[in-house]
Amino acid sequence: MSKTNKKTPGRPRSAKSHQAILRATLELLGEVGFDTMSIEAISARAGVGKTTIYRRYSSKEELVADAIESIRQDVVIPDTGNLWSDIDELIENAAQISLSPLGRQTVAMIISSASSNSQFAQIYWTKYLQPRREAFAVVIERAKMRNEMQTDLDSGLIFDSMSGIMLYALIFPPQTESWSEYVRRALHLLFQGALSQSQSE
Amino acid sequence: MSKTNKKTPGRPRSAKSHQAILRATLELLGEVGFDTMSIEAISARAGVGKTTIYRRYSSKEELVADAIESIRQDVVIPDTGNLWSDIDELIENAAQISLSPLGRQTVAMIISSASSNSQFAQIYWTKYLQPRREAFAVVIERAKMRNEMQTDLDSGLIFDSMSGIMLYALIFPPQTESWSEYVRRALHLLFQGALSQSQSE
DNA sequence: TTATTACGATACGATACTGTTTCGTAATTT
DNA sequence: AAATTACGAAACAGTATCGTATCGTAATAA
């Protein structure tokens, strides 16, 4: 029912144009942000007619949602055998994604829309954060089994706190150290209480 | 050298108009956000001519910065004699400010500008967060003196972590409990590690 | 009173984007 | 070959905002 079934007559939609549109959308989103970005600018950069975009998407929201969707990365579940090594991997992973212009603008979009309509925030939560939150639960579970953590802690709450700290560091970048180092230090503070008493360092 | 020295000839600028402009700016900022907000709309709502605004401010950024500046609240330093009571007060205070539409839009503005130009983020940091960060250091210092906390902890880092958690909860509001309750729970997790061993609850 | 500045209103040209339509051409199915 | 659909380009009317300029009026200082 997918590619093999080419029953529609007429010229098919160009996959090349489609890719170009998504690419241009992401680039502009990162450069100027959602509000400032115009359909005209997207079509110009993609080298396609405005019509081609309007034929595919009926709103900018729809287009951007699809563009972001198209680059969704696989969820990583680190398993180094040690909690802090796992966390370091997560930090590096988060750094790559969220320190990019696109990452910043995505976050900005979510927040500004969060007050009036919660569309983007909902989508982002469900499609991006939720799976990672669940993957993180596995990491925590392993740490508990290795006796690195207290067993009664809420992994979801830990994930949220970690995310919050990272988000804050994204907006107000540390002056005297790198983002990763700063986040690592903050998470260490967070986990001090989460660690078993035997694991004081 | 201020009001008493009325040496300039001609009609003075209307303080009433000035107030109306700032008020309208804040209202619209909360309602539609920075990008969507037009000078025309502000002047219309304030009941003043566009000219009057352009005479005072040369850019929207300048106007908004002044408007936000005008409602800057005094820094609160709670001193209840108990760390958790102090923190509860801070949470309630933060809830009032940041859960409002204006608070949300302010945060959104800072984040979206953080990537291209860091103007707002810088201003917000210097004028808003920095003083509160320092005030919080006092709260922590008192807690240390009461022996409620380890003495070697970095109060700035704790403040940043708290802010991050609050920010995250602002964007992705908890579904099953109130914002304040959720934040309180997260901060409890954070402070578990910060508390002295004798103060396990 | 006179000079000076601010006021609100309105008009202005300029720019930019919207979403639609029309056009001749290209690609694909039947 | 014929029918059908998509393509990019261009023109379109409509809307919105920009920042400036001009107006007659109001308020204040010298």
As a whole number, mean pLDDT of residues A89-106 equals: 86
Which pLDDT belongs to residue A199?
A: 41
| Surface-to-core class of residue A28, CB atoms within 10 Å of its CB (0-12 exposed, 13-18 middle, 19+ buried) | buried
pLDDT band at A159 (very low <50, low <70, confident <90, very high): very high
If you write DSSP's letter for every residue of chain B in order, what string do you get? --SS-----SPPPPHHHHHHHHHHHHHHHHHH-TTT--HHHHHHHHTS-HHHHHHH-SSHHHHHHHHHHHTPPPPP----SSHHHHHHHHHHHHHHHHTSHHHHHHHHHHHHHHHH--HHHHHHIIIIIHHHHHHHHHHHHHHHHTT-B-TT--HHHHHHHHHHHHHHHHHS--SSS-HHHHHHHHHHHHHHHHB-TT---
**Better-scored residue on pLDDT, A103 or A43:** A43
- With CB atoms and an 8 Å threshold, state whether B115 touches A105: yes
pLDDT band at A2 (very low <50, low <70, confident <90, very high): very low
What one-letter code names the amino acid at B91? I
Token representation of residue A108: 């900005």
Angle at which helices A15-32 and A39-46 cross, to 10°: 130
Distances (CA, A) of A8 to A2, A5, A49, A57: 12, 9, 23, 20
Alpha helices, H only, chain A: 15-32, 39-46, 50-56, 60-70, 83-98, 101-116, 119-124, 130-145, 155-171, 179-194
Point out the residue nearest to D16 (C-alpha to C1'). Answer: B38
Which pLDDT belongs to residue A122?
A: 77
Q: Give chain B's domains with CATH numbers.
A: 15-70 (1.10.10.60), 83-194 (1.10.357.10)
Token representation of residue A28: 């502009």
Residue A194: pLDDT over 70: no
Query: Three-state SS for A147?
Result: coil
Which pLDDT belongs to residue B201?
A: 42
From B76's Cα to the closest Cα of chain A, the distance in A is 21
Which pLDDT belongs to residue B165?
A: 94
As a whole number, mean pLDDT of residues A117-132 equals: 79
Q: What is the pLDDT of residues B126-171, one digit of tens each?
A: 888 999 999 999 999 999 899 888 888 889 999 999 999 999 998 8
- With CB atoms and an 8 Å threshold, state whether B104 touches A121: no
| A170 has a chain B CB within 8 A of its CB | yes
Among A62-76, A116-130, A140-154, the least confident range: A116-130
Q: A residues 125-164 near B, CB within 8 Å?
A: 125, 129, 153-154, 157-158, 160-161, 163-164
CA dist B159 and A96 (Å) reads 25
Query: Which residues of chain B have a pLDDT value below 70?
Result: 1-7, 112-120, 193-201
**Better-scored residue on pLDDT, B6 or A201:** B6
From A101's Cα to the closest Cα of chain B, the distance in A is 6
Which pLDDT belongs to residue A68?
A: 86
Nearest nucleotide relative to A10: CA against C1': D5
Residue A154: pLDDT over 70: yes
As a whole number, mean pLDDT of residues A176-180 equals: 94
Query: Three-state SS for A69?
Result: helix
Q: Phi-psi bin for A19: left (phi > 0), alpha (psi -120 to 50), beta?
A: alpha
| Surface-to-core class of residue B149, CB atoms within 10 Å of its CB (0-12 exposed, 13-18 middle, 19+ buried) | buried
Query: Chain C bases under 7 Å from protein CB?
Result: 3-11, 16-22, 26-30
| B93 has a chain A CB within 8 A of its CB | no
Kindly list the residues from chain B whose CB atom is less than 8 angstroms away from the CB atom of residue A109: 112
B112, B126, B162: best mutation site toward chain A, by most A Cβ within 10 Å? B112
Which pLDDT belongs to residue A201?
A: 41
A112, A113, A181, A200: best mutation site toward chain B, by most B Cβ within 10 Å? A112
Which pLDDT belongs to residue B35?
A: 86
Over pLDDT 90: what percentage of chain A?
53
Which pLDDT belongs to residue A198?
A: 41
- ∠B189-B186-A122 over CA atoms, to 5°? 145
**How confident is the prediction for chain A on average, in pLDDT?**
85
Residue A74 in contact with residue B81, Cβ under 8 Å?
no
- Residue showing tokens 């890719």: A19
CA dist A93 and A51 (Å) reads 38
What one-letter code names the amino acid at B108? A
Which pLDDT belongs to residue A118?
A: 62
| DSSP 8-state class, residue A81 | S
Residue A5: pLDDT over 80: no
